[in-house]
Structure 1
């Protein structure tokens, strides 16, 4: 199932309320936390739909997902924090050389049991890591 494409072509029933929106997304998004976040990005009521530019996000996805080659001198020399979820397919060892080149002073933290949306899956641990980094 191509969840982004399914979301983009979702058929919104009239007079959609929060419970109906949750039920509409449940087959596509099993995680309740992520589903609730997506419901917050929906326009409910008589004219339901996405309140975010989902079509624009989807058309830009290939660019968002790529890691472009940048010219020398474009690195950021300050401290940088990357937070990845343990079960997320993103930020993999193959990315580390590019991360090191662009952010030579980065720190990588992994949140156990979290997926891609670490702030949704583990909000307390995510906040702790950000606060600790900001206090440096």
Structure 2
């Protein structure tokens, strides 16, 4: 399986992994900024964007996908950044293949099981009848009946694409993501610790990482530090891109 990706710049490799229902395009603006000092790879994870649709979705599988991607691109060590689901993939990878990670950055996710929270979104997406949709505006209007947040709807509708023969389809593998949603909520399984430099970044207005999680973060990532971005929720990169850019840049430049 070959993951879809884009690459920018030159220098040490920096790999970026998006979250659930996201695509590599969510990180393109920041990737181009980091490209001044790094060879940046933004990657569609399995069952997302233009990467292959597979019949299973789990963190061990996504970590193996990433290992194969690195080896196919002649990379045997890289800086790794992941947001949300992508952050768990990054943590899974770092604790299974620690020698392949230089520095690890995890955005607004902890290595623990979460109780859910996307059920309304998953149901709304599955109930959207793509056979009758005439345009994105109509799709947005239908989703608005169950998903009030305009920004969330626009984020989700980036997954909607036209068929050549007419009509619409999802870029993401919605049936498998729906079926394996519980696996996406699960904790990572750590083979060993990742002792390298690790930065956890949380949105101060998000509830994905709280102060009591710090011992958990440092259990498998003993060098981990936790920093907060004020006035940011879960989508730190979209809400406070400048603050995130500076935090990540400083961390990567540290010796």
- Shorter-chain TM-score tier: 0.7 to 0.9
Q: Which residue of 1 aligns with 2:123?
A: 5
**What SS class does the counterpart of residue 134 from structure 2 fall into?**
coil
Of 218, 221, 238, which aligns to 1:120? 238
Q: Which residue of 1 aligns with 2:206?
A: 88
Asked if 1:36 corresponds to 2:154, the answer is yes
Asked if 1:65 corresponds to 2:185, the answer is yes
Query: How many residues get paired?
Result: 134
CA–CA distance in structure 1, aligned partners of residues 199 and 193 of structure 2: 14
CA RMSD of aligned residues (A): 2.5
The 1:25–1:115 alpha-carbon spacing in structure 2 relative to 1, beyond 3 Å, is farther
Question: How far is the alpha carbon of 1:68 from its aligned partner?
Answer: 4.5
**What SS class does the counterpart of residue 225 from structure 2 fall into?**
strand
CA–CA distance in structure 2, aligned partners of residues 33 and 132 of structure 1: 29
TM-score (norm 2): 0.45
Q: Which residue of 2 aligns with 1:23?
A: 141
Structure 1, unaligned stretches of length 5 or more?
none
CA–CA distance in structure 1, aligned partners of residues 143 and 202 of structure 2: 25
CA–CA distance in structure 2, aligned partners of residues 50 and 91 of structure 1: 30
Kept in 1, the 8 Å contact 2:196–2:223? The answer is: yes
Kept in 1, the 8 Å contact 2:124–2:143? The answer is: no
The 1:21–1:6 alpha-carbon spacing in structure 2 relative to 1, beyond 3 Å, is closer
The 1:66–1:81 alpha-carbon spacing in structure 2 relative to 1, beyond 3 Å, is same
Of 112, 126, 131, which aligns to 2:249? 131
TM-score (norm 1): 0.78
Q: Deviations over 1:36-80 (max 9, x none)?
A: 221111124632232111222233332222224535xx1111111
CA–CA distance in structure 2, aligned partners of residues 122 and 86 of structure 1: 11
CA–CA distance in structure 2, aligned partners of residues 78 and 64 of structure 1: 25
